[in-house]
Amino acid sequence: PTANGILEADYPPAFLGCFRDVFVDSRLLLPVIAPEGSHIQANITVGCSDKDKCDDSPCQNRGRCVSQGWRGYLCECHRPYEGNNCAEEYITARFGNKDLESYAVFSLDDDPGDTVIISMFIRTRQSSGLLLIMTNTTSQYLRLWLEVGMIKVQVNNFETLVGRAVINDGHFHLVTLKLEGVVATLFQSAQSQGFIPIRLIQVHPGDMVYVGGLPDSRASASFGGYFKGCIQDLRINNKRLQFYPISTPVESYNLEQLISVAEGCSSDNACAVNPCLNGGVCYSMWDDFICNCPPNTAGRRCEEVKWCELSPCPAAAMCQPLSQGFECLSNVTFRLGSSIPQYRSNGKIKRSLTSVSLSFRSRRLAATLLHAHKDSNYLTVSLLNSHVVMDLQVGGDKDNVSIQSQTQFSDGKWHTVKLSLETQASTSSWIMVVDGGKEAISMPKTAVGDLEFLSKEADIFLGGLSLNAGVDLSGCLGPVEIGGLLLPFHPDTELNLPRPQEEQFLRINSNAPLLYGCWGASVCTPNPCRNEGVCEDLFDLHQCTCSSEWTGHLCQDSTDPCISGPCLYGNCVSLPGGYKCACEQGYSGEQCEVEVDMCEKSNCSHGATCLKGFQTYSCLCPQNMTGQYCELPRLPVSTCTGTRWNYSCFNGGSCSEADDACYCLPGFAGQWYDMHNDS
Ligand SMILES: *[C@@H]1O[C@H](CO)[C@@H](O)[C@H](O)[C@H]1NC(C)=O
Ligand SMILES: *[C@@H]1O[C@H](CO)[C@@H](O)[C@H](O)[C@H]1NC(C)=O
Ligand SMILES: *[C@@H]1O[C@H](CO)[C@@H](O)[C@H](O)[C@H]1NC(C)=O
Ligand SMILES: *[C@@H]1O[C@H](CO)[C@@H](O)[C@H](O)[C@H]1NC(C)=O
Ligand SMILES: *[C@@H]1O[C@H](CO)[C@@H](O)[C@H](O)[C@H]1NC(C)=O
Ligand SMILES: *[C@@H]1O[C@H](CO)[C@@H](O)[C@H](O)[C@H]1NC(C)=O
Ligand SMILES: CC(=O)N[C@H]1CO[C@H](CO)[C@@H](O)[C@@H]1O
């Protein structure tokens, strides 16, 4: 009892336990029920209970109860709870409430030693903002801020460490930075985010800790500006930095300044400024909002109208949604006599025009696809010898560029040309890509700029050079875009809704009709294929598919080789893959075209001359020979003087003067030859 002047400290701690049957001089001292308010005894109860105090789960908020035997219990509290029973919570500090510039300043009054552990709960939806700066009189040796939603730490103005996970999701995150000698490690909810080597930092009494911002707003701005969100249970090692102190006494550093930091973690009313567009309904969340969008709109603020769901385009066109409007896509056919659509900017085109893209389909070797001019500036995209060519002149006639595809594209198939200006540092070149393949690139130039003149009052034509010159494209055009803005084929009068987008090219001659869709010339009617060949339309070109008996471009040729009568003097016989001629007598050769030389193997003998005839020959005999083949010697002729007449006997026949007739040699016949009568 201190009343006697004896210091408590001189004694061991008070006895903890039970006594019974305590007698002094045979007098029972205990137990005794002391009268109310007496000072005879204190902290003594009747009985001997050793019940575990933790059995009653005295620790709140999931605090862990550690039994101290008869002495009682201890609660090990989870952060941010505090107090004997973990019943008290550190008071959350709201920074940036209603976008105020807020911060808190603490001063350190001790030296935390070589290991400095800074930890706190953070709740925010901001991706940037200053969290904490520790500074001595000469330098800010530790900085913590938010960058793209992640914690960034900088030690000694040099070594930098970035967290791996974003924390700006509107939930509380426990962030711990451990500076242990020459290593700094960052944890988020007990998960390591990485570490870096650092130079030893020295924290001294008198150093300041700035939380949520610096007094100077420009200095704060270099770390993402003032923090907006909530911080709770901030500690350096085990010492608290309390914005609003709790009643449980805890070791704390001194709060020096608290500027616009509110108690609690209230939310800004994000719906107050009506962030939801197009009739969306706003629901407030902590420091955030959600828009419940009406049908046909989308986006965080219902800012995107799904225009195409309102069916604004003519039936034949395809609706393409844009971020702020829609386009009606069609193909258009150009033929001799077609109208040339003419365009101009609506005067509200703000973007820089650095590309042109168009789809085309043609078999023309030369044709204008797109042409635009204003004063001496012009742009032409055309087909030349089947190559795609771009000619551009901007900024007066000093500077022009012309590029040409390597490949030929007049094959009647769809092709997409994309021309784009690639700007690198001080130079720029035009690049031509057709069907996804790079075809040409201009020499890098500085002077040839973008297509700005097109957003002024330039006239733009498709399919020809001008309205007067007439169409020179035969084929189709698909979507044509300049700087990503479509040149619309359908005028607004054909649409169910006008185009809402700000930047537009307008069709000037919207009354000139266009032929929507892509139609080739009617190359199959009437059917050009002969002999019942089937005509296939290959777009401005036909192809005949012939039956097996016919062949040729138009099925004009028979596959039977005998039909053409190839055998001149003979009969044609069809064979697989060809024919054979059976020649008439007297002819030979593949087609019986060669006449046989009858004299070649003639029987003319004795030096006779063979005389060729048709399928035959005759022998011209020497004087002393005769017979068909001159095989017979010519016998002498006798001249006879008869009594009644004079006559001759041939072939050795002799005169018979008695009866005025010839005696013939064997093998000859006849009477005589009357020289007078020639008989
Ligand atoms: C009784 O116990 C309480 C709690 O341990 C203590 O604060 C108080 O001083 C004790 N009373 C006396 C008279 O020692
Ligand atoms: C301030 O801190 C830096 C870095 O830890 C240290 O180099 C410097 O000496 C300190 N200045 C004072 C005045 O303590
Ligand atoms: C234009 O033609 C292309 C190629 O045949 C086709 O894919 C596209 O659907 C057509 N566009 C329209 C709007 O009909
Ligand atoms: C293109 O520029 C060159 C000089 O750079 C000039 O000689 C030529 O005439 C220009 N071409 C056209 C079509 O203006
Ligand atoms: C030549 O004479 C023989 C025998 O009389 C005959 O068979 C053959 O056909 C003759 N040849 C010609 C080319 O007249
Ligand atoms: C025919 O006359 C020639 C000379 O002219 C002579 O060589 C040949 O032998 C004669 N033939 C006969 C069969 O007499
Ligand atoms: C009948 C006839 O004319 N006889 C003649 C035959 O030839 C001799 C002489 O060559 C003539 O004298 C005959 O008159």
pLDDT of residue 322: 87
Residue 7 pLDDT level (bands cut at 50, 70, 90): low
Task: Name the residue of 646, 675, 676 to mutate for ligand 7: max ligand atoms within 8 A of Cβ.
Answer: 646
Asked if the structure places residue 430 within a domain, the reply is yes
pLDDT of residue 594: 85
Task: Name the residue of 133, 134, 138, 209 to mutate for ligand 2: max ligand atoms within 8 A of Cβ.
Answer: 138
Residue 396 reports pLDDT greater than 70: no
Residue 4 pLDDT level (bands cut at 50, 70, 90): low
Surface-to-core class of residue 513, CB atoms within 10 Å of its CB (0-12 exposed, 13-18 middle, 19+ buried): exposed
506 lines ligand 2 (CB under 6 A): no
Residue 59 reports pLDDT greater than 70: yes
pLDDT of residue 602: 84
114-128, 329-343, 519-533, 550-564: which has the minimum mean pLDDT? 550-564
Are both 145 and 293 inside the same structural domain? Answer: no
In whole angstroms, give the CA distance from residue 69 to residue 672.
Answer: 180
In whole angstroms, give the CA distance from residue 545 to residue 534.
Answer: 5
Question: What ligand 4 atom has the least distance to the C-alpha of 400?
Answer: 1
Backbone angles phi, psi at 273, to 5 degrees: -95, 15
* pLDDT tens digits, 194-209: 999 999 888 999 999 9
In whole angstroms, give the CA distance from residue 326 to residue 312.
Answer: 8
Surface-to-core class of residue 416, CB atoms within 10 Å of its CB (0-12 exposed, 13-18 middle, 19+ buried): middle
- Of 486, 516, 546, which residue is a domain's last? 516
Question: What ligand 5 atom has the least distance to the C-alpha of 601?
Answer: 13
Are both 212 and 294 inside the same structural domain? Answer: no
Residue 676 pLDDT level (bands cut at 50, 70, 90): low
* pLDDT tens digits, 117-154: 999 999 999 999 999 999 999 999 999 999 999 999 99
Residue 1 pLDDT level (bands cut at 50, 70, 90): very low
Residue 532 reports pLDDT greater than 80: yes
Residue 544 reports pLDDT greater than 60: yes
Please give the angle made by the CA atoms of 613, 615 and 620, to the nearest 5 degrees. 35
pLDDT of residue 6: 53
Name the average pLDDT for the chain. 88
CA 603 vs. chain centroid, Å, equals: 92
Mean pLDDT of all residues in 48-77: 87
Are both 578 and 616 inside the same structural domain? Answer: no
Range of the structural domain that residue 636 is part of:
609-674
Asked if the structure places residue 365 within a domain, the reply is yes
Mean pLDDT of all residues in 346-367: 94
In whole angstroms, give the CA distance from residue 575 to residue 568.
Answer: 18
51-60, 446-455, 488-497: which has the minimum mean pLDDT? 446-455
Are both 225 and 343 inside the same structural domain? Answer: no
- Using only C-alpha atoms, the chain has a radius of gyration, in whole angstroms, of 58
In whole angstroms, give the CA distance from residue 602 to residue 446.
Answer: 94
In whole angstroms, give the CA distance from residue 575 to residue 97.
Answer: 101
633 lines ligand 6 (CB under 6 A): yes
Residue whose CA lies nearest to ligand 7 atom number 9: 641
Neighbours of 526 (CB within 10 A): 7
Are both 358 and 480 inside the same structural domain? Answer: yes
Q: How many Å lie between the centroid of ligand 1 and the Cα of residue 43?
A: 6
Mean pLDDT of all residues in 151-172: 93
Are both 296 and 361 inside the same structural domain? Answer: no
pLDDT of residue 10: 67
Residue whose CA lies nearest to ligand 6 atom number 3: 624
pLDDT of residue 637: 82
Tell me whether strands 93-95 and 229-236 are parallel, antiparallel or unpaired. antiparallel
Q: What percent of the chain has pLDDT over 90?
A: 55
Residue 558 pLDDT level (bands cut at 50, 70, 90): confident
pLDDT of residue 679: 39
Asked if the structure places residue 624 within a domain, the reply is yes
Q: Supply the CATH number for residue 289's domain.
A: 2.10.25.10
Are both 589 and 659 inside the same structural domain? Answer: no
Are both 243 and 368 inside the same structural domain? Answer: no
Are both 385 and 484 inside the same structural domain? Answer: yes
pLDDT of residue 678: 45
Mean pLDDT of all residues in 225-254: 95
Are both 347 and 395 inside the same structural domain? Answer: yes
DSSP H or E run through 131:
strand 129-135
Q: Supply the CATH number for residue 402's domain.
A: 2.60.120.200
Residue 674 reports pLDDT greater than 80: no
Q: Measuring from each residue's beta carbon to the nearest atom of ligand 4, which residues come in under 6 Å?
A: 393, 397, 400
Number of structural domains (the chain) is 5
Are both 249 and 276 inside the same structural domain? Answer: no
pLDDT of residue 657: 74
Residue 265 reports pLDDT greater than 50: yes
Q: How many Å lie between the centroid of ligand 6 and the Cα of residue 673?
A: 25
Q: Are 134 and 234 in contact (CB under 8 A)?
A: no
pLDDT of residue 46: 78
Which ligand has the nearest atom to the CA of 315? 3
Are both 421 and 339 inside the same structural domain? Answer: yes
pLDDT of residue 21: 83
* pLDDT tens digits, 453-483: 999 899 999 999 998 888 999 999 999 999 9
* pLDDT tens digits, 581-617: 888 887 888 888 888 888 888 888 888 888 887 778 8
Asked if the structure places residue 78 within a domain, the reply is no
